[in-house]
Each structure stands twice: as structure tokens, then as C-alpha cells.
Structure 1
Amino acid sequence: MIKNNQIIWLAETNNFLISTDDSDTDSFSHVSNVEGNSSEIEWPDDEDDEIFFPPMQYFIRLRRRRVDDYMHIIDSWTDAEFKNRMRLSRKTAFRLIGELDKSGFIASHKFGLKPLESKLCFYIFLTFISNTEPLTPIATRFDISISSTFRVIRKVASWILTKLNDAIRWPQDFNEIQYICDNFHLKTGISNILGVIDRTHIRIEKPKNAREYCNPKGHFSIILQATIDSQLRFTNIFCGEPGSSNCTRALKKSPLYHTATHDRNSLFPHNTFLIGHSGYPSLPWLVPPFRENKRLTPQQREFNALHASARKLGDRAFILLKARFRRIKLFTVYRNIAFITDMIVAACILHNYCLNENDHLEVNHD
């Protein structure tokens, strides 16, 4: 029986702390650079303490205040500004922040260090995944180190991945299956469609094994294969195949294919099926369009037209995913395939979460 998730990611389970001292050392890096050469440093005398130390304390307080100031700026945004910048509603964000805070992924204990609060961590993650800007301006905006920013992003992504089974799941209940089929029939005129299967290429920088990841268009990419229901939700994902893989090869490597081949009724009861474009094979549970030729009957041509209208739902889902989480359009700099895959899957999870919360995004689907 297929699992709801198609790839198992090992999430980090250890809590983490980010010291304010760590973020402050950048301002005083010249001290550590000459460690061991104390004779060259003119340390302040006791009588100079009142001159030397107050400025140090002032700069530390100033750095912390800059973080607070930017958080206040975010809080001052209107709901429309928040959604335009963070790509989801403030209500959805606050609900996720509350869940993150209770999850234990962001440390609440101190042990002498100041942890970053869940709200700040989630805002850093949203800023990263909703835009294509590099880490440096994000770290500068939130006034923490680049390494700490990257750790926050990975930590929040690891927490989101724990929601995979709940957020992206195959329809099992009869009423749910019937509802999806009825919606597809209403929109396309074809009965018993349980979903659309399609894939999209996620562009990446040139990796080490470049030839394997070079797709037919000459770009380097990894593949996200997904099944989509009538409400544009992902019901199954398979992510990480190199861009050179064709549709059939990627499909046959997915757990979806193996389960459907050996136990079709567990996934496709009551003669339900998926539809896919002509690049997919014709299977008992997967129906591509009729091959275009001069011998097609009027009924077959009509079916192909309805089939094409159904496939547009898959296109819309991918357009919405990349419009909401613009990092998914192109991963610059990052060459770690595991990290990129985690971020794509996290975006898919948040995509479904937003739809479940009726948090919709206006996107031009043309």
C-alpha cells in the first residue's frame, strides 16, 4: 500500500539555539583576528571603562533593536501588503506560527543563550521561499548572520515536512472520491477522473553530474511529478528525479506506479483513473489522449478536447505553486539537490495548507 508521502525525508529532531553573541561577533571581528597578539592591542585602562564599554553595550542593543524594528515594520503592513510580500494571508501565517511554536522545533529554553522566536523564524522562511533574492539581504534585513539564516530556513522546512502525510494525501473515503469525480465531471464532462498527473521542471544551477540534470530544453532541472485533484490540491508528489528523465521513466520510478500496478483497487476503486498528456503511457488507471491522426473519429476528437480542458487544471496548480512560492521557479546558487527537494516539497505542503484554509492567491493563468 502506498504511503501518503512518496519520499521520506529525515527531519532534524534536535532543537537549536542561536546566540545573540554569534550575531554580534561580526561587528567585533577585528578582535578575534589578532588573538594571540595582545601586545599589539591597546586595551582600555580601568579608568577608560566608562568610555569603552558603554558604546559596546549600545551597539549590541542597537542590533537587537534593528531586528525588533523590522518585525514592527512587518506588523505594520496591511493585510494586503502582508499577503503580497509573504504570499499567504496573515491569518494563515499566524496559525502556522502557533503550530510551529508548539512543535518543539524551535527551542524555547535559553541556557544562557537567546533563542530566535518562532514568529521571527517563520518570517525568515517565508521571505526566503516567497522570493528569489539571495540570503545576504534577507540576513541583513533580519540582522542575523547568513549561517544562522540558513539554519533557520532548514529548521522551519524540516518542521513543515512533518506535515506531509496530513497535507498531501491520496483520497480514500468513498464520499471524498465521489466528490472529486463529480467535480471533474462538472468541469470537463468526463466521468470517473480521480486526478490529473503532470510534472514540472524546477530550474537549478549546473550540478556536478550536469549531463543527467540537463533537460530537453537545455536547462538544468529536477522534476516534480504530482497528481492534482479538482480543487488544485496535490494528492501525490514525487520529487527529485533529474531533468533528463522522460515522463514514463519518472512515473515508473515512483511508488505511485508500483502500488497501482500491483494493487490498482487500493488507489483507483470503482474504475476511477488519472488523465495525463500524451507523454504518459496508456494504463488501466492512466488515460492519455488519443494519438492525433487523420483516422480519429468525431467522438475521439471530442474526448481529446475535453481531456485537454481537464489537463489545464494541472497546469494551473503548478502556476499557482510557482507564483505563490517564487523560489520554486529557479534555485540560484544552491546545488544541494536534497535541500532543493526539501524546499519544493515544503512549498507543495504549504500550497495545500493554503487551499484548505481558503487562502487563495490571484494569479494570471494565461
Structure 2
Amino acid sequence: MDQQALLAAIGFLDQDLNYPDIANAVIGEFDDNRRDIIRNNGDVPPRNENYFEETVPRYTMDDFYRHFRMQRQTFELLTLALGRQNNPQVHIIPFEKKVLLGIWLLAKPESFLAAGDRFGLAPSSAHAIYSQIVDGVMNLMDDVITWPNMQRATAIANFYKNYNFLLLFHQVFRERSNGMPGVIGAIDGCHIPIKQPEANPIDFYNRKGYNSIILQAVCDHEMKFTNITVGMPGRMHDSRVFRNSPLYRQMMNAAHPLISPENHLIGDSAYPLLGSLLTPFRNNGHLNAATVNYNTKLSKIRCIIERAFGLLKGKFRRLKYLDMSDELLINKTVAVCCILHNFILNNERLNEGELLEEEAAEEVPAEMMPNEREGNERGQHKRNYIVDLLVRV
């Protein structure tokens, strides 16, 4: 179909309509249908034309949540947030339908063919819409994944320190004890399985025996991500991922430090000990009762990041295996899941039933780098001070 002919055919319509967008959408759908017909030897492929229009509106609250991993009210807020990015125009496909399709593809490990069939769309249309929604959610990152400011950092640190008082209000730390001061978040990395990249299969083949990229994240006491780095090859050690991340450069910036001296992150032994990042004592068989107590308390707090990864992967099952070839789209997909993870937690109560058991990471102790010597000394002093402090708690 010729675009100019189509534009002429609708030329009598209201001049405010966006003719090129309408024409391109119609032509695209026409071409998708034509390709499908050719592939199926002239038979029009069957599609579910009324899933969005008739089935979804009849879903109960539980049905909607089970399929789309969020409450209907949260979906409406998300649609509003994404809709503000779009110029007013005529949508051949309703915008709400596009958002639902995008969420569906993140929540379930379905092909674009299967998802497109459910929503009455060609696979190529489903892929184009998915990319559009992913880009839209990416634009929300700076508003949804935020580093705690001074006031927020103090509140988080006080939560960790005064755990018993706040237990009634935060069930995520039930049956865990701490008392460690100054903690504003926990850091760790997790593997996201991908199919073997054609260009560089070796670096992405991890020590666990499959291809992956690494998601490094920091989360707060509510399992909300405050910083993420996505896309490092799966073969990389956690400490190398950390040292190659923007977060590390910000933390090591002496002129404008990201974390105040009285605060710090906590991580496992795969991370370097710094004044702004506390790690456990290595178990060399000679730990005393005080250092064992410190390690135990740190471990009980640090596991919150593992639970955050479990919740992330429990909600967005596409992360179980990303069958994609576009490296940029792979990284965006992981980042978008993290953004939606926070968006949901900002608007709903935690659903612990969705947590997946996160695979235990291999903790290869990090070696100190020359530029970390001063930070390491501050970390040792701070850690020893906290060891003594916890003995008196």
C-alpha cells in the first residue's frame, strides 16, 4: 500500500490528526498481516482479538495481579506516568493495551508470537510495542531508582540500628536482629541468563556453566533498588564489576563523596573493604566471638539484597532467560524490571509469596587495589569500632 495514496484517502479528516502516524501504523499492520498470510500458505493466522477489550476488564483483582504482577490501580498510575511522555495523537492501538502487552512480556517468558496472538497483534507489532514501552519506562529511572539523600540516608541507618522498634512496621526484617549503625544499603550482584552472544561467547559464559550478564544493585531496607549497573559479562568477578561501575567512581571521589563518613554500604567478601563499604571478616579459623558476632549480624542484614533479587525475578519471569540478540534491548529489559520493581513497591504492599530463591553466589575474596589503600584503612578502623560497639549492644 502506498503511503501517499493512504494520506490522500484520509485527507478529508480533521487537520489536527497526525496523518503520517496513522498511515504508518495502518501500513505496518497491513504488512504484518500480509507476511503472516504468506508464511501460513494463504491462511490468516488465528488471533485473540478481544483479550484486552473483553477479557481483561472482567478480571478480578486477584486475576489481574496474577497475570500482570501489579494491582490494577498501580497499572493505572504507570499508564499515566508513561502517557505523559507521549504527544497527544490518535492511537491505532490503545495506549493501555500497549502498556499491558509490555508488562505481560516482562512478567512471562512468552515469545512475541504467543504474546501477540493473545493481544490480537502480529509478532512484529508486539516487538515494536515492547520496545516502545521499554523505552518509556527507562525514562522513569531517575525518578524511581534514587540514591538516598541525607535525610533519607539517616532514616535508613536509624532503621537498621533501631530494628526492634520498627519491626512492627516493616515485616521484611522479621526474625532478624541487628544493631549495626550507619548502614544505608546492601550491595550484591546476580546473574541474568541470556542466550549465547555471537560476537563474544567466552566472556559471557560464567563460572556456573551458562551465559549471563550481571546485574549489580544496591537496595535499602524496603528492598527498593537505589542504584543499578546492568550488562557486565557473566564471567566477571563481583569486585571487578563493582570497580568498573559508575557507583565505584562516585564512592571513590574524595572531593565529592557519595556516602558520608558515618554511613556505609554492606556487602559480602567478594567486595573490597572500604570506609564506605563494610564486608565480613574472612573466616580463617581464628575468628573470636566478637568478630563472629559482627559477621552474623552483617549477614542477617545483607541478605535483604538477595531477597530483593528474588522478588525481582519472581515478578518478572522473563529474567529467567532472555532469548534476545539485541544487547541494548537486553540491558534495557533488566533495567526496566528494576524500575517497575521499585514502582510497584512504592504503590503496593510487599507480596512475599512472589520471592524466588536466589542462587547462592560464589564469594571469591576481593583483593585490595593500590588506589584503595587509604579507603581500606578507614574501613578497617570503622569495622573494628563497630565490632566493639556490637559487643556492648
TM band (smaller chain)? 0.7 to 0.9
- Pairing partner for 1:135 from 112, 121, 124: 112
Q: Does 1:144 align with 2:124?
A: no
1:16–1:300 CA distance, 2 compared to 1 (3 A): farther
- Show the counterpart of 1:188: 178
- Show the counterpart of 1:73: 55
| TM-score, structure 2 as length reference | 0.75
- CA distance in 2: counterparts of 1:225 and 1:25, whole angstroms: 41
- Pairing partner for 1:99 from 57, 75, 81: 81
- Show the counterpart of 1:325: 316
- CA distance in 1: counterparts of 2:132 and 2:96, whole angstroms: 13
- CA distance in 2: counterparts of 1:338 and 1:365, whole angstroms: 26
Q: Does 1:204 align with 2:185?
A: no
- Pairing partner for 1:306 from 282, 297, 301: 297
Q: Deviations over 1:264-298 (max 9, x none)?
A: 76321142111111111111211110000221110
**8 A Cα contact 1:323 1:363, kept in partner:** yes
Q: Deviations over 1:195-229 (max 9, x none)?
A: 10101000000112110101111110000001111
- Show the counterpart of 1:19: 25
**8 A Cα contact 1:109 1:115, kept in partner:** no
**8 A Cα contact 1:100 1:118, kept in partner:** no
| TM-score, structure 1 as length reference | 0.80
Q: Deviations over 1:58-83 (max 9, x none)?
A: x9xx98xx534543201110011100
1:125–1:69 CA distance, 2 compared to 1 (3 A): closer
Q: Give the 3-state SS of the residue equivalent to 1:132 in structure 2.
A: coil
- Pairing partner for 2:89 from 94, 102, 109: 109
Give 2:220's aligned amino acid.
D
- The Cα of 1:358 is off from its aligned counterpart by 2.2
- CA distance in 2: counterparts of 1:276 and 1:30, whole angstroms: 51
Q: Give the 3-state SS of the residue equivalent to 2:252 in structure 1.
A: helix
For structure 1, the residue ranges without an aligned partner over 5 or more in a row are 1-14, 34-58
Q: Deviations over 1:11-40 (max 9, x none)?
A: xxxx9666345434555569999xxxxxxx
- CA distance in 2: counterparts of 1:274 and 1:126, whole angstroms: 32
1:266–1:94 CA distance, 2 compared to 1 (3 A): same
- CA distance in 1: counterparts of 2:191 and 2:331, whole angstroms: 12
Q: Give the 3-state SS of the residue equivalent to 1:244 in structure 2.
A: coil
Q: Does 1:175 align with 2:151?
A: yes
Give 1:351's aligned amino acid.
H
Give 1:77's aligned amino acid.
Y
- CA distance in 2: counterparts of 1:268 and 1:229, whole angstroms: 14
- Show the counterpart of 1:219: 210
- The Cα of 1:189 is off from its aligned counterpart by 1.8
**8 A Cα contact 2:188 2:305, kept in partner:** yes
1:27–1:175 CA distance, 2 compared to 1 (3 A): closer
1:363–1:143 CA distance, 2 compared to 1 (3 A): closer
**8 A Cα contact 2:280 2:298, kept in partner:** yes
1:168–1:69 CA distance, 2 compared to 1 (3 A): closer
Count of aligned residue pairs for this structure pair: 316
Q: Give the 3-state SS of the residue equivalent to 2:62 in structure 1.
A: helix
1:31–1:302 CA distance, 2 compared to 1 (3 A): closer
Give 1:314's aligned amino acid.
I
- Show the counterpart of 1:266: 257
- The Cα of 1:312 is off from its aligned counterpart by 1.0
**8 A Cα contact 2:32 2:125, kept in partner:** no
- CA distance in 2: counterparts of 1:150 and 1:365, whole angstroms: 27
- Show the counterpart of 1:44: none
Q: Deviations over 1:233-284 (max 9, x none)?
A: 1011111100011011111111111111123763211421111111111112
- Pairing partner for 1:125 from 90, 102, 113: 102
- CA distance in 2: counterparts of 1:23 and 1:244, whole angstroms: 42
Larger relative contact order (Cα-Cα within 8 Å, sequence gap ≥ 6): 1
1:265–1:231 CA distance, 2 compared to 1 (3 A): farther
**8 A Cα contact 2:261 2:275, kept in partner:** no
Q: Give the 3-state SS of the residue equivalent to 1:349 in structure 2.
A: helix
- CA distance in 1: counterparts of 2:330 and 2:36, whole angstroms: 35
- Show the counterpart of 1:291: 282
Q: Give the 3-state SS of the residue equivalent to 2:230 in structure 1.
A: strand
